[in-house]
Structure 1
Amino acid sequence: MTTQSLSMLQAIRSALDIMMQRDANMVLYGQDVGYFGGVFRATEGLQAKYGKQRVFDAPISESGIVGTAVGMAAYGLTPVVEIQFGDYFYPAMDQIVSELSRIRYRSANDFTAPVTIRMPVGGGIYGGQTHSQSPEAIFTHIAGLRTVMPSNPLEAKGLLIAAIESPDPVIFLEPKRLYNGPFDGYHERALQSWRDHPLAQVPEGYYHTKLDQAAVRREGQALTVLAYGTMVHVALAAAEEAQIDAEIIDLRTIWPVDIATIAESVQKTGRCVILHEATRTSGFGAELSALVQEHCFYFLEAPIVRVTGWDTPYPHAHEWDYFPGPQRVIAAYQSVMKEI
């Protein structure tokens, strides 16, 4: 299959384009996604190609966007909706929790909800407190939802296609820091240009990346690192800089999480570091820590360590200090390596 070098943003647009071609019932809408092509241009050109009946703008009503998607899905359409920034999903919370996630169960399997909700998440663009949040842990608490966050262009396309094809709802979180590069996601540091990276070589046609499976990005024997989205690249950069034999696992699907891959790695290494950009308390790292403890307690040779954002409102003026960067991550690696 022919491949091309794409950014994550271009890969997402390609996935949407391909699925619009393949599924005549797919509709794509949200704030400014039509004529304007989305605030980040993820849907640029799709309204001109598929028409205003299938790609259209929605009012500034996140509850309305998700609520109509539930109804459309129940009657046979395949809605893919965009919440312009992840920070804006809160008005739609009742529709997500009470309707979208429960419709299959409530209807005794008479109705499904093949709805994909795309959301740009995380910081790195100096968007301030209301354009930079990382709310993934909230969605993992809601039974009936899948929560997905890609870390590279190749899998962004494959995972989004798989999400759209899923008969059940998927929250598809897109790290803004990875939309256009640098590919490693941390300042201008790059082990190689993202355009030359194998995970930026994206097939032109249809393919999908299986949901609910993690990927081992770097094999190692000394410790296991669990990460997703932008933090995968920070984990890799830290391991290379510190020359630590770390095994780095990209969760890809945050929930349901691939505990089998995680447990196999931690039982091999005996040590575990968890990274995420969101605040520490009740972040998804706490759930990961509990799962590792339950599955790997007798194999652990050091306490599980989390490296996260701060327990504060999003600090616009200190954005790059708030993120777990390579130096904070290296310190965590070294701390678990010292434990006997």
Structure 2
Amino acid sequence: FCQEAFWLEDYVRYRILKEKNGLRAWIDWPAEDQALTEIPDSLATEADFHRFLQYMFFTQWNTVHSHARDMGIDIIGDLPIYVGHDSADVKSMPEAFQLTPDGHLAAKAGCPPDCFTADGQLWGNPLYDWGTAYDFWKKRLAWNARLYDVVRIDHFLGFDRFWSVPPADATARNGHWEEGPKEALFDRLFQDLPDLRLIPEDLGDKRDSLQDLLDRYGLPGMKIAQHSLGPREEQEGFRVPANAVIYTGVHDNEPVMMWHGNQTRRERIRLNRIYRQLQLRGSTPAQKLCRYCLESDAAWAILPLQDLWSLDADARINAPGTCGNPNWQWRMTDFARLEAMLPRLHHLLKVTHRLREQKR
């Protein structure tokens, strides 16, 4: 494991030096610690401890992953496009990022104002220097492809163009677009990693050049059921392409029950008419949208547990543009409830022709 995990020694050195410096960001360490390329002998025990932790997690994860494969289940791993400035990634490969000579951010990542927030979203991550970031992405994707069967890349739009925000700004409003690497990156990646299986998260303001990028490699687009029942989609017969991944909603969306309840009375009447028109069975709007996803032509249908259970506002994962509680706080704690639901879920998959034979 220590030989094969390309990131391990950089991560271990980052962790022990961060602890030595009171958990301060690496950019605030003394110059002598920032310059270290080897782990000091005085911290060898601490280094062994962090190697051990990573090894234990890796072996436990492999047990889970192997069991899933034996059951015929693929696991999708979620990969953020950006990494944190205070991270072993940036500390060990600064040449891959847009940094000043002393390591500070030269620009910050985010997205422009949209339907979620008037000021845009200021994520604050370092942006990539796409002239020198290839090795970082090749190693990152190769390792993730080893951990998972399929890798979903968040904010895939950033490979087509990305929103660059001045480093001193407190919102994303004053950012500007810069061109991404497009096929210059992915031609090389698919040449070097031919078995790579990707799901791009392509939600947002898409240009034709992004669709061309998806089509070039046969990558599926993403569809959100909550956004797929409008008048334009109705005119098109609510068709969903086969080469697609459809969700009732993603982590940034409201659970279906919350979303449906927040519509105007007139819109709820229209939605209920559509549910009847499409003959979507279910006792709640969430169950009906789950059925809509499963009955679609999309090759992949992903159903959040909140919608399978018809949960409401208190089960929302994330509100874009906001920080802190209650974002990312919801957890599934009732495994008995999940187990009790499995026969109904099995029946639902069977009647929508989405079961495949298990490996024995």
State the TM-score, normalizing by the size of structure 1.
Answer: 0.28
Which structure ranks higher in relative contact order (CA pairs < 8 Å, sequence separation ≥ 6)?
A: 1
* Higher strand residue share: 1
State the TM-score, normalizing by the size of structure 2.
Answer: 0.27
Kindly name which structure, 1 or 2, has the bigger radius of gyration based on alpha carbons. 2
